[in-house]
Amino acid sequence: MSINHFRRAHRCRWSIATVLTAIILLTTGSAAAEPPGRGQDKRGVIEGAVTELDGSPASSSRVDLFILNNNRQDLLASTTTESAGGTFSFSVRKGCYAVVFVAPPGRSFPAGPTSRVDTCVTSNSQVVSGINATLESPVGQDDGFAGLPFDGGQVVAADYALTPEAIGVWNYVTNGFHLGLESYDSSTDTQVTHQTSGGDPLPTLGGQTYQGYRTLTTDGPQSLWDAANQDDHTRSQLGGWGPGSSLHLSGEGDREFIVYSVRLSADTPIPGSVLSHTGVRWLSMVSQFKSTLPSGNAPAISVYEGRDGLQLRVRENNGSHYVNIDDVPRGVWLRIGIDVHWSTGNDGAYRWWGDLDGDTTIEFKPLSDLRRTATILPGSEAAAFNIGPYHHVETIPTHGRDYANVEILSHSATDSWGTP
């Protein structure tokens, strides 16, 4: 598969009289020596970094430095030093320069395969910092999209469980350790924990692998809202319902594929069967899309866990539509995805996808037909994604599960929905 169909090539607008190499591979290895010239021959410095979308250091990008030459032939300048963390540094005389980032094969910057930043060094002691570039997620790779009818787009929001601070990604936590507007200390929250290894070993849509995961459990006190409004319910969920309290807001007209990895506990106290029960009294919620704006509304799209499998539910125009999947394996990583055209009208559409065999390869399979219905409930303008257990406290007092690699991919409205 190729990413060329969703990013047009970007042409350099300068000529090169002499072909030399300035910085070459950015690495995440050991730190390099002090850049030549800093504190030695009083040269200026141009420095920066190349990062991935999630902020981690990028590797295998090239960075070239050109001397701007009055719209004539821009000359490739001196070499750089190699440094840790995907950073680069050029030692330069005062003057004006173009820093040109060249993406590795198969990757892209927002502007295309190259990205350019012009800057000037006004004295031989000036340090110009923050000349940075961010690679887009390498979507369109065979492994992450295997089985899906589309192979490109852009990851617009994600949680790869890179740090313990879930609230920094999701912007809101609803459980017994985050009560209303009180301050939140993740180190005291035993209902949301983080592990640095043991996560889903298979590549994401971006083609990368991450080892972290989060465990969400209802073992402990209720959230303030549940205690005040429905004291027979309990939850431990990430994500809120407003612009400043959610991972991402999906709006009218967007076409998005939302996917996450989940590992169901080998032993479960859930009494209900997905074949004969619905709702949080007998089942436990896994994830939901709450319709929102101007205020929170009911969940339009949700996933539930029963003692025997998963239940996929969408509120449609004439009632709810269910997909019940029994005999789902436990104790292994599963992938649940839904492709959605978000709309308050009848042009809305969705289709469920999943890789639910828990093996060592990715192969998405359709879990439903394409269905056309409003996907944002009347009176709302957007949808907000939440994950985490939510259920009736009397029938399911304590329950939890593991989550990893949450991704929201924006892709073309004209992409195929797959064969029936």
180-198: pLDDT as tens digits:
556 788 889 999 999 999 9
294 and 202 in one domain?
yes
352 and 333 in one domain?
yes
User: Considering 134, 153, 176, which residue would you say is the last residue of a domain?
Assistant: 134
List Cβ neighbours of 168 (8 Å cut-off, separation of 6 or more): none
Rounded Cα distance between 95 and 128, Å, is 12
117 and 264 in one domain?
no
- Secondary structure letter of residue 85 according to DSSP: G
CATH number of the domain residue 53 falls in: 2.60.40.180
Instruction: State both tokens at 83.
Output: 């440094």
**Across residues 67-83, what is the average pLDDT?**
63
pLDDT digits (tens, 9 = 90+) for 156-177: 999 999 999 999 899 999 999 9
Rounded Cα distance between 107 and 136, Å, is 7
Quote the number of domains for the chain.
Answer: 2
- Answer yes or no: is 157 within a domain: yes
120 and 46 in one domain?
yes
Q: What domain range is 45 assigned to?
A: 4-134
Q: Would the pTM of this model clear 0.75, i.e. be above it?
A: no
108 and 162 in one domain?
no
162 and 50 in one domain?
no
65 and 12 in one domain?
yes
With beta carbons less than 8 A apart as the criterion, state whether 311 and 324 touch: yes
252 and 390 in one domain?
yes
30-58 core/surface letters (b: 16 or more CB in 10 A; e: else): eeeeebbbbeeeebbbbbbbbbbbbeeeb
Q: Above 70 in pLDDT, residue 123?
A: yes
- Answer yes or no: is 416 within a domain: no
- Answer yes or no: is 415 within a domain: no
User: Considering 134, 168, 188, which residue would you say is the last residue of a domain?
Assistant: 134
Instruction: State both tokens at 57.
Output: 């250091």
User: Considering 134, 159, 177, which residue would you say is the last residue of a domain?
Assistant: 134
- Answer yes or no: is 417 within a domain: no
* pLDDT tier at 66, thresholds 50, 70, 90: confident
User: For all residues of the chain together, what is the average pLDDT?
Assistant: 84
pLDDT digits (tens, 9 = 90+) for 381-413: 999 999 999 999 999 989 999 999 999 999 999
